[in-house]
Amino acid sequence: MELRSVAALIEASRKMPIWEAILCSNLEEDTPEQRAASLEKMQMLWQVMQDSAAGYDGSQRSLSGLSGGDGEKYTQMLSSGKMMCGTYLNDAIATALKVSECNACMKRIVAAPTAGSCGVIPAVLIPYRKEYPDTPEEEMLHALYVTGGFGNIIAERASVSGAEAGCQAEIGAASAMAAAALVYLRGGSPEACGNACAMALKNLLG
């Protein structure tokens, strides 16, 4: 990826939408064929995230027995009507648990940006689509480009590895990527996406 800083990404986004600047930076040649192939791959990744959440089985446990079932418990509690914080936030928490537990049970594995932080981006984007069902499918793919663009910058300039920089690197990076995508989906500017990324990351530094 040619865009190695948020400043460079924002500058590139003055000429085109931020997601398209990220797409173009990842193409060897900007041809219709390569664009179509990139979008097709992003569609596949988006489907994997959705399949991971949809394929959750609350009765399954990881090999160690330490993971599994919590997503189902949270969903049941949510159905009771006793939970606070609103539908979107609670659905995001439930989705994060389900995708993480699905990953731990070696089912459909999502690594975005890592397996350890696999639940974060699906937890933000899948409930968003439920909350705003009129959002076009292509916009969800564009949002994923935004997550990837900011994720690549974080990986290039810092780390997304828990082994190298602790859990903050995995969860912090994933949260920052998801925050940028959410701001994009709500119509925020490239600068606002960058600020959202920075704020989420700073709030998870330890």
Reported as a single tens digit per residue, the pLDDT across 56-73 is 999 999 989 889 999 999
- Residue 114: per-residue pLDDT: 87
Reported as a single tens digit per residue, the pLDDT across 17-29 is 999 999 999 898 8
**182 pLDDT above the threshold of 70:** yes
- Residue 206: per-residue pLDDT: 63
- Residue 61: per-residue pLDDT: 94
- Residue 125: per-residue pLDDT: 98
What would you measure as the largest C-alpha separation in the chain, in angstroms?
53
d(CA 87, CA 130): 10
Angle, helix 32-54 to helix 87-104, in steps of 10 degrees: 90
Whose structure tokens read 């609670």? 90
Q: What is the DSSP string of the chain?
A: ----SHHHHHHHTTSS-HHHHHHHHH-SS--HHHHHHHHHHHHHHHHHHHHHHHT--TT---TTSSS-SHHHHHHHHHHTT---S-HHHHHHHHHHHHHHHHHHTTSS---SS-STTTTHHHHHHHHHHHHSTTS-HHHHHHHHHHHHHHHHHHHHHS---HHHH-HHHHHHHHHHHHHHHHHHHTT--HHHHHHHHHHHHHTT--
- Residue 132: per-residue pLDDT: 97
Average pLDDT (154-181) is 91
Is residue 13 within 8 Å of 25, Cβ to Cβ?
no
Reported as a single tens digit per residue, the pLDDT across 137-166 is 999 999 999 999 999 999 999 999 888 888
Reported as a single tens digit per residue, the pLDDT across 32-64 is 999 999 999 999 999 999 999 999 999 999 989
Domain locations in the chain as residue ranges? 6-55+109-202
**201 pLDDT above the threshold of 80:** yes
Considering the entire predicted model, what is its pTM? 0.92
- Least Cα distance to 125 among 176, 70, 185, 83 occurs for 185
- Residue 15: per-residue pLDDT: 94
d(CA 29, CA 46): 24
The residues near 5 (Cβ < 8 Å, ≥ 6 apart) are 153, 157
**204 pLDDT above the threshold of 70:** yes
**1 pLDDT above the threshold of 60:** no
Reported as a single tens digit per residue, the pLDDT across 82-133 is 888 889 999 999 999 999 999 888 887 778 888 889 999 999 999 999 999 9
Whose structure tokens read 């480009």? 145
